[in-house]
């Protein structure tokens, strides 16, 4: 099966978790784009969506799906998003599309986080995909130096400004054996807005090839 076919299959399966009358948290990326197209078919049954990026907002609105501010709706029942990497414990690297901060906020605000991926995203240890870190622009060099001290190799994603007006450092060649610990350390660096490790709050369920993987915790 092609990667796109796998992404679509995962997105279609995730639609089964959408409850009538709810506001759905929606992530960002090519896998989520299939989910949004599916959501359009049931738009009369949901109240609307909270979106994690301008890109997803445009797609949702193009289908006539109402988009709400998270502050206006409170806790969400469900958040559906893709990932760049996923380990056997449903811990993730996200942010390839530079939307990590809003994605993290919506994941945190949601009762259930379903991650939809294709097989290529599965890894034993996170870190083959460069870890995105969103930084306040004036702190870029400061944060980069701190990351080097932690053993990472940060590369500025030049030319990219996030929806929040910030910049991204992609940290290469990091074998992340303690994702929860590293996430905490990165969060403590002054100038970091958020990092793309979703370990303290991993996905609740991961859908791969139409199969749901739940990790007992
Ligand atoms: C965006 C993300 C995406 O979920 C991630 O990059 C995966 O994208 P795709 O579904 O296109 O492979 O974290 O910030």
> Helical H runs in the chain?
3-15, 30-41, 54-62, 70-73, 100-108, 140-149, 179-187
Does the beta carbon of 162 lie inside 6 Å of ligand 1?
A: no
Q: Which domains does the chain have, with CATH numbers?
A: 3-123+200-212 (3.40.50.1360), 131-196 (3.30.70.260)
ipTM score: 0.98
Tell me, yes or no, if the pTM score tops 0.90.
Answer: yes
Q: Are 146 and 189 in contact (CB under 8 A)?
A: yes
Distance 94 CA to ligand 1 centre (A): 6
**Catalytic-role residue among 103, 111, 119, 134:** 103
Ligand 1 site, residue 57, Cβ cutoff 6 A: no
In short, whether 98's Cβ falls inside 6 Å of ligand 1 is yes
Residue 118 Cα: closest atom of ligand 1? 12
Report the residue count for the chain: 217
Summarize pLDDT for 148-205 with one digit per residue, the tens. Answer: 999 999 999 999 999 999 999 999 999 999 999 999 999 999 999 999 999 999 999 9
Task: Please name which of 2, 67, 8 lies closest in space to residue 38, comparing C-alpha atoms.
Answer: 8
Query: Mutate which of 30, 34, 82, 116 to test ligand 1's pocket (most atoms within 8 Å of Cβ)?
Result: 82
Q: Helix, strand or coil for residue 170? A: strand
From 11, 80, 96, the mutation candidate for ligand 1 (largest count of ligand atoms within 8 A of CB) is 96
Cα 95 to averaged position of ligand 1 atoms, centre (Å): 6
Residue 99 Cβ < 6 Å to ligand 1:
yes
Cα separation, 133 vs 186, whole angstroms:
8
pLDDT surpassing 90 at residue 214: no
Q: What pLDDT, in 10s, does the model give residues 29-60? A: 999 999 999 999 999 999 999 999 999 999 99
Is residue 103 annotated as a catalytic residue, yes or no?
yes
């Amino acid at each position: 099966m092609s990667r796109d076919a796998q992404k679509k299959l995962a997105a279609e399966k995730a639609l089964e978790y959408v409850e009538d009358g709810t506001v759905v948290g929606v992530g960002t990326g090519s896998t989520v784009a299939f989910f949004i197209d599916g959501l359009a078919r049931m738009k009369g049954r949901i109240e609307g969506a909270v979106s994690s990026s301008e890109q997803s907002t445009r797609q949702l609105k193009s289908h006539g799906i109402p988009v709400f501010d998270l502050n206006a709706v409170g806790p969400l029942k469900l958040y559906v998003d893709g990932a760049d990497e996923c380990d056997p414990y449903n811990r993730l690297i996200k942010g390839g599309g530079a939307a990590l901060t809003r994605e993290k906020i919506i994941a945190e605000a949601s009762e259930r986080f379903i991650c939809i991926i294709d097989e290529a995203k599965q890894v034993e240890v996170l870190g083959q995909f460069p870890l995105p870190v969103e930084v306040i622009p004036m702190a870029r060099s400061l944060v980069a130096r701190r990351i080097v001290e932690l053993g990472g190799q940060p590369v500025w994603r030049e030319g990219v400004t996030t929806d929040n007006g910030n910049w991204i450092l992609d940290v290469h060649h990091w074998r992340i054996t303690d994702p929860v610990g590293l996430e905490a350390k990165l969060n403590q660096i002054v100038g970091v807005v958020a990092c793309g490790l979703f370990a303290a709050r991993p996905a609740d369920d991961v859908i791969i090839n139409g199969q749901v993987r739940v990790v007992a915790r």
